[in-house]
Amino acid sequence: MSQENEHVQCLIIGSGPAGYTAAIYAARADLKPIMYTGMQAGGQLTQTTDVENFPGYPQGIMGPEMMEDFRKQAERFGTDIRFGYISSVDFSSTPHKIVVDEIKTITADTVIIATGATAKWLGLPSEQQYNGFGVSACAVCDGFFFKGQDVAIVGAGDTAAEEATYLAKLCKTVHLLVRRDEFRASKTMVSRVLATPNIIVHYNTETLEILGNGKNVTAVKVLNNKTNVESDIEVEGFFVAIGHKPNTDIFKGQLDMDETGYLLTKPGSTLTNVEGVFACGDVQDMYYRQAVTAAGSGCMSALDAERYLAAKEHPIEA
């Protein structure tokens, strides 16, 4: 296989709001960043429809269009954006080594990781068919579209409990589908759910199919796995809250992460345990997971990278 080598000051991995914001700041600071987009250029937002909660878009904007705007802004300042995926990294020495598409090795003084997280789905064809047309993996993003309507949400962890409570403030009825006879969520969260009158908890309930009229969701077909009885619950919206998987497989053994694979950063910064490697966006944030918080931490990572390079170039004598 051919082996080309290239050296860069700043390599950005990932092209969601965190990666693009890091690119805008790094490019304007003249770090001449190169970005590898990953296989899903634009990240999770390219799979959504309307985004109404990102400041600066008073009329809202479609997710894919917003990511196009991010890309154009990053390119305007000279970011070299390349389609490709990072197949492995070696952070054991500086400069850091990054292998692209299994063939090309790049060395980098700083690496900004913005590889995001992937929402877990149930794996039903109907779930994909109605994704963006009544099916969503983010209540905070899409709950508003179901104001005054009936919705269902599947999951039993803290996210499902929190999102069910959030939806209950907007929607008429929230059907919470729990596959076992108990929650995984913390006691406080569960108490909050049980104290909310318009949340109906369906225990021992599995989702069989999301039903629709070809355009929108109309109901969800469920199975009670204790009684073996199937039934349809009429809903306009269906939310999946069964967890996320951070995209960190290639960093295993190289960077500190928690037990679920989220990268650990020094509090109040984007610094990882390896010098010159920074992490921003959902890959290091299991709590907020918003485009605007990802963008904010993307900005932080570029500033952290810039300061790191400046300190290396002009070390302060002790």
User: Which residues sit opposite 212 in a β-bridge?
Assistant: 217
Residue ranges in contact with ligand NDP by CB under 6 A: 122, 154-160, 162, 179-180, 184, 242-243, 286-287
* Cα dihedral 286, 291, 296, 299 sign: positive
Q: How many other C-beta atoms are found inside a 10 Å radius of the C-beta of residue 180?
A: 12
- CB closer to ligand NDP out of 96 and 289: 289
- CB closer to ligand NDP out of 150 and 162: 162
- Alpha-carbon distance of 141 to 153, in angstroms, equals 14
User: Which residues sit opposite 117 in a β-bridge?
Assistant: 246
Farthest-apart Cα atoms in the chain, separation: 74
Least separation, in Å, of the C-beta of 218 and ligand NDP? 21
User: Which residues sit opposite 223 in a β-bridge?
Assistant: 206, 230
Catalytic residue positions, numbered: 138, 141-142
- Alpha-carbon distance of 4 to 311, in angstroms, equals 30
Omega of the bond leading into 33 within 30 degrees of 0 (cis)? no
Q: Look up residue 38 and give its amino acid.
A: G
Overall size of the chain counted in residues: 318
Instruction: Write the CA distances from 291 to 19, 20, 52, integer angstroms.
Output: 11, 11, 11
- Alpha-carbon distance of 181 to 313, in angstroms, equals 59
Start-to-end CA span in the chain (Å): 47
186, 192, 195, 197 alpha-carbon torsion, rounded to 10°: -120
Tokens coding 9: 């000051």
DSSP 175-206: EEE-SSSS--S-HHHHHHHHT-TTEEEETTEE
Q: Look up residue 193 and give its amino acid.
A: V
- CB closer to ligand NDP out of 9 and 115: 115
- Alpha-carbon distance of 122 to 129, in angstroms, equals 13
